[in-house]
Amino acid sequence: MFSVDSHIHVNLGGMSLKDIIRYLDKEKIDLCWLLSWEEINPGHWEYKHLTIESVYEAYLKYPLRLIPFYAPDPHKKQASAELNDWYQRGIRGCGELKATLNWNSIEINTLLKTIEKLRLPLVFHMEESRYYEIPYTEAIFDKIIFYGLRTKRKIYQIPKYFLRLLVNNYAPIRSKGRSYYFPGYMLDFASLESSLIEYPNINFVAHGLMFWKYISSAHNENYESLPKGPINGEGVIWRLLRQYPNLYADLSGPSGINALTRDPQNAKTFLSQFQSKILYGTDNCMNGQRSFIDSLNLSEEAYKNIYGLNANKLVKL
């Protein structure tokens, strides 16, 4: 069966180029979409700069196994020009777009016009805004300057319980870096829908915690990024996938597999209904996606579409 992993990064999570090729060979996957990740002014949130140069270098080494994607940060004035330049050099998709902007922003729309002109598929990540709490760990204690009192002969260690007491009761230390605000990526569904209408020639491939959370209508019960439990009502993504022929979704990352495994019967219904709109992918997170999907006993046609044909029809080779 022809197969594609539609969401892979090089040098993310310790996964080197050799590891990617080894994974593709082991799982009998023919091709993968190799995506960049670019933010020119990232905040304190978790971020891994994955350059187009590293993607392109990998592609040149394995041009028959890797399909290069590039998503410039839309905040850059030259974003559209850079996307066009890399298209001329061989990139075949825009992704992964993770911008702290809304779909109706001037910056996003400028980039979308270029994506539409080049007829590229767009892989994007949706994630809700929130405050992060940073826990104090042993690693943080080890970095405190007064952890040890050094003399010429030995180091007298300060007990870690004393350091915890100090950190938790001394306000200037306690407050420093304890939490920060993450503004979210590619919010919201209303403006996404407007973009689907305005740019019918762009094939949007959705992914991320926010997107897959809305597989359920009861998405706000516990404000969890990876909600658990049965799906009792259709969330907004069902309607969008039905209504817009240019919207697709990839199953990659913890959010994709969570959306399926939380309710296997619902997963079978969802994948069967949208078998022509769903792309298999991992996002360097191999958590048994394929074995779970195989266990659902979908039709042969559905498996062919999800595992490779849907991704293949979106890319101009």
Taking only the tens place, the pLDDT of each residue in 60-95 is 999 999 999 999 999 999 999 999 999 999 999 999
Amino acid at 30: D
Distance CA 5, CA 282 (A): 7
Q: Residue range 240-262: average pLDDT? A: 97
CB 246 within 8 A of CB 216: no
Write the CA distances from 264 to 132, 229, 277, 291, integer angstroms. Answer: 31, 10, 19, 13
The set of residues, in sequence order, having a beta carbon less than 8 Å from that of 103 and lying 6+ positions away, is 186, 187, 188, 191, 192, 194, 195
Q: Residue 206 pLDDT more than 90? A: yes
Burial of 84 (0-12, 13-18, 19+ CB in 10 A): middle
pLDDT band at residue 157 using 50, 70 and 90 as cut-offs? very low
Residue 275 and residue 305 in contact, taking contact as beta carbons nearer than 8 Å = yes
Q: What does the alpha-carbon distance between residue 30 and residue 164 come to, in Å, rounded to a whole number?
A: 51
| Phi, psi of 243, rounded to the nearest 5 degrees | -80, -30
Can you tell me the distance from the alpha carbon of 190 to that of 204, in angstroms, rounded to the nearest whole number? Answer: 15
- Res. 175: pLDDT tops 50: no
How many whole angstroms separate alpha carbon 166 and alpha carbon 304? 59
> Going by C-beta distance under 8 Å and a sequence separation of 6 or more, which residues neighbour residue 23?
15, 29, 286
What residue ranges of the chain are covered by domains with CATH 3.20.20.140?
4-130+183-314
Mean pLDDT of 197-203: 98
CA pair distance 71, 94, nearest whole angstrom: 5
The residue assigned the tokens 């915690």 is 209
Least confident stretch, 6-10, 119-123, 154-158, 193-197: 154-158
Q: Which of 192, 181, 190 is nearest to 129 (CA)?
A: 181
**Is a pLDDT exceeding 50 seen at residue 132?**
yes
Q: How many helices (H) and strands (E) does the chain have?
A: 15, 12
pLDDT at 162: 52
Residue of 116, 68, 128, 119 lying closest to 95 (CA atoms) = 68
pLDDT at 178: 58
Half-sphere exposure of 275 (CA within 13 A, CB side): 15
Residue 103 has pLDDT above 60, yes or no: yes
Q: In the Cβ-directed half-sphere of 117, how many Cα atoms lie within 13 Å?
A: 12
Q: What pLDDT does 49 receive?
A: 87
For 142-153, give the DSSP string: HT-TTSEEE-SS
Q: What is the pLDDT of residues 35-54, one digit of tens each?
A: 999 998 887 777 788 999 99
**Which residue do the tokens 């709109």 mark?**
277
**Chain-wide mean pLDDT for the chain?**
87
Question: Rounded to two decimals, what is the model's pTM?
Answer: 0.85
Kindly report the backbone phi and psi dihedral angles of residue 36, in degrees, each rounded to the nearest multiple of 5, phi listed first. -90, 175
How far apart (Å, rounded) are the C-alpha atoms in residues 241 and 190? Answer: 14
Please compute the mean of the pLDDT values over residues 245-254 and round it to a whole number: 97
- As assigned by CATH, the class of the 4-130+183-314 domain is alpha beta
Section 218-238 average pLDDT = 81
What pLDDT, on a 0 to 100 scale, did the predictor assign at position 317?
67
Task: Please list, in sequence order, all residues whose beta carbon lies within 8 angstroms of the beta carbon of residue 73, skipping any fewer than 6 positions away.
Answer: 38, 39, 40, 79, 99
**pLDDT the model gives residue 142:** 37
Which pLDDT score, from 0 to 100, does residue 99 have? 94
Which two tokens mark 203? 């094939």
pLDDT over 90 (residue 172): no
